[in-house]
Structure 1
Amino acid sequence: MINQRIRTAGVAAFITATLIGSNPINAQQELTVHMNETIAPIQPTMYGIFFEDINFAADGGLYAEMIKNRSFEFTLPMMGWTQPNSDRHSFNEESGYALPVKYAEGDANQNFIRVQVKNAEGYELHNEGFRGMGIKEGEAYRFTFDAKQMQGNVSSVTVTLLNDAGKSIGEAIIPVSGSEWASYKAELIPNETVMKGSLKLTFEGTGELGLDMVSLFPKDTWKGRENGLRKDLVQLLADMDPGFLRFPGGCIVEGRTLARRYQWKKTVGPVEERPNLINRWNTEFEHRLTPDYYQSFGLGFFEYFQLSEDLGAEPLPILSCGIACQFNTGELVPMDELQPYVQDALDLIEFANGSTDTPWGKVREDMGHPEPFNMKYIGVGNEQWGPEYIERYKVFNEAIQFKYPDIIIVSGSGPFPEGDYFEYGMKELKKIGAEIIDEHYYKSPQWFKENATRYDSYDRNGPKIFAGEYAAQSVAIASPENKNNWDTALAEAAFMTGLERNAEVVQLTSYAPLMAHAEGWQWTPDMIWFNNLESYGTPNYYVQKLYATNRGTDLISITQDGMSLTGQDDLFASATLDSEANEVVLKMVNTSDKPKEIVLNFEGKKVKSQGTVQVLRDDSLTSENSFDSQEEISPVTKAISVKGSTSKQTLAPYSLNVVRIAFKK
């Protein structure tokens, strides 16, 4: 459940006085909560998480590796590495140098570096990390590398952590020996906390040493897994109690070209055998060019499934349908060459769910998880549109349904919530009998408020809806000036009452994108922001968290004069019963600049005399959270009272209010 911060009576009284005393209160609004009849179950998947490797969300973010280009596989093999004392290109005496060597064919780990040490007192090799390295005083860091002696007598490697002034804050000396590749490790405990540290390697002796897979991880990762995930970021996700985890993203699935699409089979097995791939977002936006943005796939499909399991969330992988991003090349695989793509989908189901006697089930077992992941959903395509998508989707749909009839297939309606692409896709997918259709919308806050009734008219017997990517844009789609301000979050809160009210149709929802590095982002807005040391949830995060942790189990209605609250007089509302907690749960959103005095009348069940309300609000629509003020906009919990079957509440201006009251069986 959400971390409830019960304020003292004095603070609560001050808040109440401020809300009521500073603005004239409108006339009372009588609302009726109909508890005697449920409309539809709220699916456990109603509120989930969309993850995409954009904004340095994986390498440099959730995946806790601190070394950039650890295996020298970037297009420029020495990117991320510097040799400040190397004089190889001058006429001065050389201290030494490192050169990449290609020693393997194929996709994975083709390169290592040959370090030529001519002057052990002078040669240094540095790694800059991902916009620096966040290093914490007193915490343990695990340094590993592969090495072999090639010539001469280089006998040890010294690894040093540096602060932003280049001073040592921790080091270890690791002896090396032998002409065959061997793995080495050391533990470092720094004596200083720095935001933008770096790593330095120096050497004892002279000669040539081969180096590969140079890696640095904090030991304190999520669940203590060696070389695992960044703990604070996963904790923010776990605190949301998500119903599903969609991965590995949106457009990242498609690739700019088919050759650069996401291929899940290349992301499982030993980490050192997974090939690197340039990230499709590296130079997508002129305003944020990031040519050093690559995917190491240390966070691969196994890790995504494992994370889903950790979070108690249904895994929802999305696969390429044989069409590259249509905003880029739109490259198509010919229909007579589509079978390998379809086989990838079938093999993924076997990897996730198959017995250890199957080829891909055995791969899962070898990775340490003999039990199946019990995947129920699979997505085919991300934001594809037009006849080309429908033609290919039909092939996937037929093959998956034939071999795995219990798997639920998620299709897509394209990148927009209206227009020709959308109308065509919805029409054709309905003809096929699609089970779940993914809709995406990046629109203004006003659009979100005006579309709280979007699903009221959807066919209750038609396909179910996955609101798979949505976020209010304060300026415009993909504008670098977009903000995660209270205006956007409040509009999303209002819209989400419409998602919940239509739980008969809408069964999965997720905000997007999920994460952004403060210095490595390409797209805004984003739900969670982080730097090398810290992370925080935006107001949008807290809206999502409040809905997800107060989901309830059954939809009921809340009305005014017999009508649902869909924005009349700037008031939006939805209601559920939580049969597990025996509580009624109300979400009420006041989007006006004035407080609202409401009377809640509970019908059909007897409610208890006390409850709580979690209030998320701010006086200014332009307010934001930040690293300096991480909980500027965050929920405050207060006690409320009920007299008989009635409770009077004052909804503050610009507020989301989540009420929970126990009912008698």
Structure 2
Amino acid sequence: MEKNRNISQSKKYKYMRLCLLYFLIFPTIISVGQSQTKKTETGKKISPYLFGLFFEDINYAADGGLYAELIQNRSFEYSPTDRTDWHSLSFWEYTTPRYSYGSLNVETSTPVHPNNPHYAVLNIEHVGEAGVGVKNHGFENIVIKQGDKYSFSMFARQLSSSPIAVTISLQTPKGKVVAESKINVNTKDWNKYTASLTASASNDSTSLVILATTKGKIALDVVSLFPEKTFLNRQNGLRADLAQLLADMKPSFIRFPGGCLTHGDGLGNMYRWKNTVGPIEQRVEQKNIWGYHQTAGLGYYEYFQFCEDIGAKPLPVLPAAVSCQNSGGTWRIGGTGQKALPMDEMQEYIQEVLDLIEWANGPATSTWGAKRAAAGHPQPFNLEFVGIGNEDKITPEFEARFKMIYDAVRAKHPEITIIGTSGPFSDGEDFDKGWTVASNSNVPMIDEHYYKEPKWFLSNLNRYDAYDRKKPGVYLGEYASWGNKLYNAIAEAAYMTGLERNGDIVRMASYAPLLAKKNHTQWNTDMIFFDNSKISLTPNYHVQKMFTTNQGDYYYDNVIAQNVKDTTLAASCVKDSKTGDIILKFVNNSNVAKSMKVNLSTFKNYMSSAAQIVLSGNANAENTLEHPQNIVPVYSTVNVNKVFDYPAPAMSLTVIRIKILSKKI
């Protein structure tokens, strides 16, 4: 009995010793575990969609630009409402070579479609040695390349008793034919005729010539010429070189179609998405708020398709049922032009917004999903974001209509992230009112816009540090530093490191405007300049690309150290959790090289050889169409250690991307 008691006590003491040892050691184990967890999770989660693109049809960015159509005024819809000196035959030339004669006029009695009311009528009274016809020089000129094929199409109908033979050709300024095809207009109903033209020589000043070679009368409309080599060879597609530059940026999203273009120059000029889908001959063309014409050939279907093609989230921006406050030529002067849709039209307009979501995301069996499928895309586009309003003056009329739209979308589609607006400036009355409207309605995100001098960006690197994280997130939808010199781009780069640091509250950001055509710019600060054959990438483009192609979804403090009193330096460190890569960015906006200290002790298993990109040079240097290579990034490799000093060159942005051997860090 005593022996059993001693055994029992021995087991009891042993158990107590184990418990004591457990409680002495386990906290250490917990502590080590917590320390390891803390060490591997010191990164702050930030938006995976931080840097994207904003496209607006300004500076001839669409027609004559990204949209690959080579014929200007293809549907004879130009008018004095676009520009006072324009009319239905603008950019068309009546031609009667070699003793031919007849007449040309525009009619509207029996159009191809009611949305496309004007068409040309050719009366061929006498055919000499060539015929009677029309010529189009395109957007200043048509550039063709030897061996390339060009897709011609037009709608035509026979107005006389007999069929009309028609010759289609591409001709040089001296009349040399470099491509030719023939068609026969043989029906009294509108019919689409097509031809393929292969260029026998290259020429940068070609014209399209259509000559009727049979006596009689025909009607013509929607005369179109596309290079077969569009981006990804898509029909009704995009100019391949421009589109590829945007694809190369790997943007996380694209915002479209504007901008001020969205809410338009008066209620009748608002951008209505339904007018831009379906066959191009059925789309509604209209005045562009920036002083020219938009065919809507680059419409919502093409925008969504391009986003999908390059892996970017689509972000359509719809009017908030009010027109631009600067309508009627009051740009930036007090906002006297805003008009609001009547309340008795609001339910119809709200349904238009809801129909867009169904068009983008609905099954092919739904009403609007079927229309998407009929256009060639049976699968949904997976729309996640919708902007309501753009730089609007925050009036009671705006507020009431915005809330009606917001409440309806939120009720039917809670999965959609709605983005509001805070007006056109970084502060002021509309900014404050816009934020109040968004906060009161719990809008998920609000769109801020501002264009500033470089010094403003450098003085406001901490703008978002103090933003209330309980309020709506920020989409910095439009920003630029009023210039395309390297100094402007480096100032923007410094600011963008602050956007990364605050990527938990700043969810998206996009530079603006994107494209600008030579001799057709309405905005001085742009990212890409081009003409019909050449492209100039600004330093701003290179900075944006260095950020968009090196995005992360975690931000790390205390990896890059610098003198906090030295405002010429900025830096950031992010991680791309998909690859495990660590991405360091260094900005030096001074005129001398400066060093920043890097401590990579947070990370494990990284490769010592890293990819490096450096953009640097003279502060006043810029790229032009004539000299596009003045400022270009330099690619190389660099060795990194656990602790090292990085000597940032004068006036520079450097990106160092470090590969991880294992995704665990």
- In the alignment, structure 1 segments of 5+ residues that lack a partner are 1-33, 88-92, 283-292, 475-483
97-106 or 354-363, larger mean C-alpha shift = 97-106
Q: Using the TM superposition, give the Cα deviation of residue 113 of structure 1 relative to its aligned residue in structure 2, in angstroms.
A: 1.5
- 1-side partners of 2:637 and 2:97: how far apart? 67
Spell out, residue by residue over 1:32-84, the C-alpha distance to the aligned partner (whole angstroms, 9 max, x if none).
Answer: xx975434323231111101111111111111111111121222221221114
- 2-side partners of 1:565 and 1:586: how far apart? 17
Cα distance change of structure 1 residues 35 and 556 upon mapping to structure 2, 3 Å threshold? farther
Aligned equivalent of 2:434 = 425
Count of aligned positions: 604
**Are the aligned partners of 1:149 and 1:177 in contact in 2 as well (CA < 8 Å)?**
yes
Q: Secondary structure at the match of 1:500?
A: helix
**Are the aligned partners of 1:471 and 1:511 in contact in 2 as well (CA < 8 Å)?**
yes
2:179 maps to 1:162? no
Spell out, residue by residue over 1:108-147, the C-alpha distance to the aligned partner (whole angstroms, 9 max, x if none).
Answer: 1212221011232363411121122122222100111122
Spell out, residue by residue over 1:479-534, the C-alpha distance to the aligned partner (whole angstroms, 9 max, x if none).
Answer: xxxxx211211111111011111011001010111111113222121111221123
2:250 maps to 1:236? no
2:511 maps to 1:534? no
One-letter code aligned to 1:658: V
2:67 maps to 1:58? no
Aligned equivalent of 1:648 = 645
| 1:361-380 map, 5 Å | 361-380=369-388
- Segments of 4+ moved more than 6 angstroms: 564-567
Aligned equivalent of 1:326 = 325
Aligned equivalent of 2:602 = 604
**Are the aligned partners of 1:38 and 1:554 in contact in 2 as well (CA < 8 Å)?**
no
**Are the aligned partners of 2:560 and 2:596 in contact in 1 as well (CA < 8 Å)?**
no
Cα distance change of structure 1 residues 429 and 569 upon mapping to structure 2, 3 Å threshold? closer
Aligned equivalent of 2:582 = 584
- In the alignment, structure 2 segments of 5+ residues that lack a partner are 1-37, 80-86, 328-336
One-letter code aligned to 1:108: N
Cα distance change of structure 1 residues 35 and 555 upon mapping to structure 2, 3 Å threshold? farther
Aligned equivalent of 2:105 = 99
- From 16, 38, 47, the equivalent of 2:51 is 47
Spell out, residue by residue over 1:392-413, the C-alpha distance to the aligned partner (whole angstroms, 9 max, x if none).
Answer: 2111111011111111100000
Q: Secondary structure at the match of 2:78?
A: coil
Report the TM-score, using the length of structure 1 for normalisation: 0.87
**Are the aligned partners of 1:609 and 1:642 in contact in 2 as well (CA < 8 Å)?**
yes
One-letter code aligned to 1:609: S
Aligned equivalent of 1:208 = 217
One-letter code aligned to 1:155: I
Aligned equivalent of 1:547 = 547
Q: Secondary structure at the match of 2:629?
A: coil
Cα distance change of structure 1 residues 190 and 519 upon mapping to structure 2, 3 Å threshold? farther
548-557 or 182-191, larger mean C-alpha shift = 182-191
**Are the aligned partners of 2:364 and 2:370 in contact in 1 as well (CA < 8 Å)?**
yes
Q: Using the TM superposition, give the Cα deviation of residue 274 of structure 1 relative to its aligned residue in structure 2, in angstroms.
A: 0.7
One-letter code aligned to 2:613: Q
- 2-side partners of 1:35 and 1:542: how far apart? 34
One-letter code aligned to 2:124: V
Cα distance change of structure 1 residues 566 and 307 upon mapping to structure 2, 3 Å threshold? farther
- 2-side partners of 1:565 and 1:612: how far apart? 25
2:631 maps to 1:614? no
Cα distance change of structure 1 residues 567 and 472 upon mapping to structure 2, 3 Å threshold? farther
Question: Structure with the greater relative contact order (CA < 8 A, sep ≥ 6): 1 or 2?
Answer: 1
Cα distance change of structure 1 residues 567 and 82 upon mapping to structure 2, 3 Å threshold? farther
- 2-side partners of 1:650 and 1:136: how far apart? 46
| 1:431-450 map, 5 Å | 431-450=440-459
Q: CA RMSD in A?
A: 2.1
377-386 or 630-639, larger mean C-alpha shift = 630-639
- From 104, 115, 121, the equivalent of 2:122 is 115
- 2-side partners of 1:566 and 1:233: how far apart? 40
**Are the aligned partners of 2:560 and 2:571 in contact in 1 as well (CA < 8 Å)?**
no
397-406 or 425-434, larger mean C-alpha shift = 425-434
Q: Secondary structure at the match of 1:151?
A: coil
- 2-side partners of 1:566 and 1:497: how far apart? 14
Q: Using the TM superposition, give the Cα deviation of residue 148 of structure 1 relative to its aligned residue in structure 2, in angstroms.
A: 2.1
One-letter code aligned to 1:648: D
- 1-side partners of 2:42 and 2:167: how far apart? 67
Q: Using the TM superposition, give the Cα deviation of residue 647 of structure 1 relative to its aligned residue in structure 2, in angstroms.
A: 2.3
Aligned equivalent of 2:28 = none
Aligned equivalent of 2:227 = 218
Aligned equivalent of 2:17 = none
| 1:399-478 map, 5 Å | 399-474=408-483
Q: Using the TM superposition, give the Cα deviation of residue 249 of structure 1 relative to its aligned residue in structure 2, in angstroms.
A: 1.0
Cα distance change of structure 1 residues 166 and 38 upon mapping to structure 2, 3 Å threshold? farther
- 1-side partners of 2:303 and 2:658: how far apart? 36
Q: Using the TM superposition, give the Cα deviation of residue 433 of structure 1 relative to its aligned residue in structure 2, in angstroms.
A: 1.1
- 2-side partners of 1:294 and 1:594: how far apart? 48
Aligned equivalent of 1:197 = 206
76-85 or 252-261, larger mean C-alpha shift = 76-85
| 1:267-282 map, 5 Å | 267-282=276-291
Aligned equivalent of 1:4 = none
Cα distance change of structure 1 residues 158 and 332 upon mapping to structure 2, 3 Å threshold? same
Aligned equivalent of 1:302 = 301
**Are the aligned partners of 2:163 and 2:184 in contact in 1 as well (CA < 8 Å)?**
no
% identical aligned pairs: 41
Q: Secondary structure at the match of 1:439?
A: strand
One-letter code aligned to 1:583: D
**Are the aligned partners of 2:122 and 2:133 in contact in 1 as well (CA < 8 Å)?**
no
Spell out, residue by residue over 1:230-260, the C-alpha distance to the aligned partner (whole angstroms, 9 max, x if none).
Answer: 1111101110111111111110011111111
Aligned equivalent of 1:10 = none
- From 335, 338, 348, the equivalent of 1:340 is 348
- From 69, 75, 97, the equivalent of 2:73 is 69
Report the TM-score, using the length of structure 2 for normalisation: 0.87
Q: Secondary structure at the match of 2:373?
A: helix
- 1-side partners of 2:547 and 2:316: how far apart? 23
- 2-side partners of 1:199 and 1:591: how far apart? 50
**Are the aligned partners of 2:458 and 2:567 in contact in 1 as well (CA < 8 Å)?**
no
**Are the aligned partners of 1:365 and 1:371 in contact in 2 as well (CA < 8 Å)?**
yes
One-letter code aligned to 1:378: V
Cα distance change of structure 1 residues 491 and 345 upon mapping to structure 2, 3 Å threshold? same
Aligned equivalent of 1:520 = 520
- 2-side partners of 1:382 and 1:77: how far apart? 31
- From 354, 367, 383, the equivalent of 1:359 is 367
Q: Secondary structure at the match of 1:603?
A: coil
579-588 or 255-264, larger mean C-alpha shift = 579-588
- 1-side partners of 2:509 and 2:76: how far apart? 39
**Are the aligned partners of 1:154 and 1:204 in contact in 2 as well (CA < 8 Å)?**
no
Q: Secondary structure at the match of 1:272?
A: helix
**Are the aligned partners of 1:146 and 1:182 in contact in 2 as well (CA < 8 Å)?**
yes
- 1-side partners of 2:491 and 2:135: how far apart? 47
- 2-side partners of 1:109 and 1:38: how far apart? 59
2:604 maps to 1:572? no
Q: Secondary structure at the match of 2:271?
A: coil
Aligned equivalent of 2:89 = 78
Spell out, residue by residue over 1:580-635, the C-alpha distance to the aligned partner (whole angstroms, 9 max, x if none).
Answer: 322211111000000013332222223432212210111x2221122233333221
- 2-side partners of 1:388 and 1:572: how far apart? 42
Aligned equivalent of 2:3 = none
Spell out, residue by residue over 1:429-468, the C-alpha distance to the aligned partner (whole angstroms, 9 max, x if none).
Answer: 2121111000001111111111111101101221100000
Q: Secondary structure at the match of 1:426?
A: helix
**Are the aligned partners of 2:132 and 2:213 in contact in 1 as well (CA < 8 Å)?**
no
Q: Using the TM superposition, give the Cα deviation of residue 578 of structure 1 relative to its aligned residue in structure 2, in angstroms.
A: 2.1
- 2-side partners of 1:71 and 1:407: how far apart? 37
- 2-side partners of 1:69 and 1:47: how far apart? 35
**Are the aligned partners of 2:313 and 2:384 in contact in 1 as well (CA < 8 Å)?**
yes
Q: Using the TM superposition, give the Cα deviation of residue 174 of structure 1 relative to its aligned residue in structure 2, in angstroms.
A: 2.2
Cα distance change of structure 1 residues 35 and 551 upon mapping to structure 2, 3 Å threshold? farther
Spell out, residue by residue over 1:89-118, the C-alpha distance to the aligned partner (whole angstroms, 9 max, x if none).
Answer: xxxx98112111103488512122210112
- From 622, 633, 641, the equivalent of 1:624 is 622
Q: Secondary structure at the match of 1:521?
A: coil
